[in-house]
Chains A and B, each alone.
Chain A
C-alpha cells in the first residue's frame, strides 16, 4: 500500500513538487507499479551476487593534465552567469 504521505516524501527526495491534483493520480499509478514490482519477492534469492555486466572491471588511467573544454563555451548553456561562474540565487 502506497500512501499519499509516502509519495510526498519521495517527491521531496526527488526534488519535485507534486500538486494536490497530481497526487491522487500519482499515488494510484505508484500503487500499481509497486504491486507489479512486488512480484520479484516471490522469487528465490540467487546464490550468485550480480556484480556487473560482461566482467567489466575498474578502469584507471594516469593522472595527467589534458586539455579541457573552454570555460566560456560551457557557460553558454547556462541561463544566468557572472564573471565566468554559474549564477545561483542565495539560499533564503
Chain B
C-alpha cells in the first residue's frame, strides 16, 4: 500500500496532535510550489486563507472541541466551482479576472466544516474536453508520467490528488469529467446521481447533465466527501439531497450474492489491456461471492451522439450569458453593443468552446430542431428505459471507464469526432442521471493506470461504493500511488 495521505489518516494525525493543521497545510503549500511547475494542476493557490483556516482548526483542537470529518483536511476545487472572493475562471480567457460574489453550495458546506482550500485547479475550458488541454492555462499533467495528460475535464483535481498535493478535491462530471481523469491518474472519482449534490454555484456547461462529485485516493474518502456534500438545497430546483443511509456506513458489507452486470457493448471496442483489466476485476468479484450477469445494451451505440447533441444544445444556451457587460473579458475596440458582444465572445472563447456553441446552435435552429434535438431527446428516453431494464437483471453494472489509458500530451487527437469517442463509456451515465464510481483496476505495460466504473441505479451510491470498497480491499496494489507529493 502507498503511504499517501487520505482523509482518515490525516484526520487521525490532527486529532492525535502528531502534526498541527498549520504545519500540515504549510507542507502541502510547499509541495504545490515544488511540484506544480511539472504537474500544472493548480491555476490559483490560496495560501493565506488556507493557513488562516488551519490556525482556526488548531485552536479548536487545542480547546478540545469536536472536529467534523473533513475539518482541517487540505483540499482543492475545480475552477468552475464558485468561491466568494477567489478568482474562478473555468480556465477560459473570457472569465479571467472574474471573482464570484457568492459561494457554490458545496463550498459553503465544506467551508463551514473548516475544509482547508489550497487553491483552484485546472480544467478543460468550460469543462469541454477530455485531456485538460483546452484550458487557457495549458493542460494538467499525469502524475504517473508527466509526458501524458491528466485527462479531463477535471484534470487539475485528478493531477493534484493523484500527485498527492491535495488530499481530495471536488470536480464536475457532465459526460465523464470526474471519472475519466480519475481513471487516467489511478485514483477514485464519484459522479453522484443527478440531484444528489447541489449544482448551485457550479458554472453551467449542460445543466441536465452536470453534477459535482469527489475525486479521492480511496473509496472510503469518496464516501465521506459524498456524504458531506449531498444535501438538499432550495437554491437548486433539481436538488434532491440525501437518499437513504450514509454511504460510508455500508462499505464493509459483504457483497455475497450481489449481481454485477456486464454489457458486451461496453467491453467491445476498448483496448485489449483495458478489457483484460476489467474482466480480471469481474473474476475478483466472483471470488468475493458476487454473481456476474451478462446482457446486451444495444442502445448504447446511440449514447455518444445523443450526448453531444443535447449537451452542446444546452451549452449554446448557457454560454449565451458571456457578453462582456457584467463580468469577465471585454473586447477593447468595437463599434456598437452588438459588435462588442461578438468581438468579446470571439476573442474570449477557445476553439473547442466555439465549436460546441456552433453545434448546439445548429441542432436547435429552425429546420434542424426535429431531426437532431427532438430526436436525441426522444432517444434519451429510450436509453433511460434500457438502463431501468438492466437494473432488473443486476444491482451494479461493471464497465471500463475509458476505452484506453492516458494519451500523451498534445496527442489529444485533432479530429473532433475521434476525441469525442474517448467519452463513449462515460456519457450513458450522465444521459440517465445515474451514479457511477471509477476505481483503479490495474496498470498497462507502460505503467499507466487503468480504471473501471461501477454504475448504480438512481441514488444507489451506497451500493456502488460498497462494491468499489470490497475491490479496493481485495486488490490494494491497483491503487498504487504516483511518486509525486506528500507522503505521510
Contacts and interface: CB of A to CB of B under 8 A. Distances in A.
Interface of A: 6-7, 10-11, 13-18, 26, 29-30, 32-34, 36-41, 43, 45-46, 48-54, 56, 58-59, 61, 69-70, 73-74, 76-80, 86, 88-92
B338 to A, nearest CB: 7
Contacts of B478: none
Interface in B322-375: 323-328, 330, 334-338, 340-343, 345-346, 349, 354-355, 357-359, 361-363, 365, 371-372, 375
Given A40-B309, A77-B101, A49 B326 contact: no
A89 B330 CA distance: 12
A54 B240 contact: yes
Contacts of B193: 54
A91 B336 contact: yes
Contact of B358 (A26, A86, A88): A26
A41 B237 contact: no
A26 to B, nearest CB: 7
Contacts of A43: 299, 302, 375, 379, 382
B417 interface: yes
B379 A89 contact: no
B358 A77 contact: no
B417 A32 contact: yes
Given A30-B355, A33-B359, A61-B234, A69 B102 contact: yes
B302 A50 contact: no
A59 B234 CA distance: 9
Contacts of A18: 346
B208 A29 contact: no
Interface of A is mostly: loop
- Give the top 9 A-B pairs by smallest Cβ distance, nearest first: A50-B381, A53-B433, A77-B327, A46-B382, A92-B336, A59-B237, A17-B346, A50-B380, A79-B330
A58 B381 contact: no
Given A13-B365, A37-B372, A46-B382, A32 B416 contact: yes
A56 to B, nearest CB: 5
Q: Which of B299, B330, B357 gathers most chain A CB within 10 Å?
A: B357
Contacts of A90: 336-337
Contacts, number: 161
B308 interface: yes
Nearest to B357: A14
B305 interface: yes
Contacts of B334: 89
A48 B385 contact: yes
Interface of B: 97-99, 101-102, 193-195, 208, 234, 237-238, 240, 299, 301-302, 304-306, 308-309, 316, 320, 323-328, 330, 334-338, 340-343, 345-346, 349, 354-355, 357-359, 361-363, 365, 371-372, 375-382, 384-385, 415-417, 420, 432-433, 458
A48 B238 CA distance: 21
21 contacts: A14-B354, A16-B349, A37-B309, A39-B302, A43-B375, A45-B378, A46-B378, A46-B385, A48-B381, A50-B377, A50-B381, A50-B384, A53-B194, A53-B208, A54-B195, A54-B240, A70-B101, A73-B101, A78-B325, A89-B336, A91-B337
Contacts of A29: 355, 416
Contacts of A38: 305
Contact of A15 (B98, B328, B342, B365): B342
Contacts of A70: 101
A60 B349 CA distance: 35
Contacts of B234: 59, 61
A37 B337 CA distance: 34
Nearest to A48: B381
A14 B358 CA distance: 7
Given A10-B361, A10-B365, A91 B433 contact: no
B302 A40 contact: yes
Contacts of B338: 15, 91
Given A32-B415, A36-B420, A89 B340 contact: yes
Nearest to B353: A16
A74 B381 CA distance: 40
Nearest to B100: A77
Contact of B342 (A17, A33, A41, A53): A17
A40 B304 CA distance: 9
A89 to B, nearest CB: 6
A14 B81 CA distance: 25
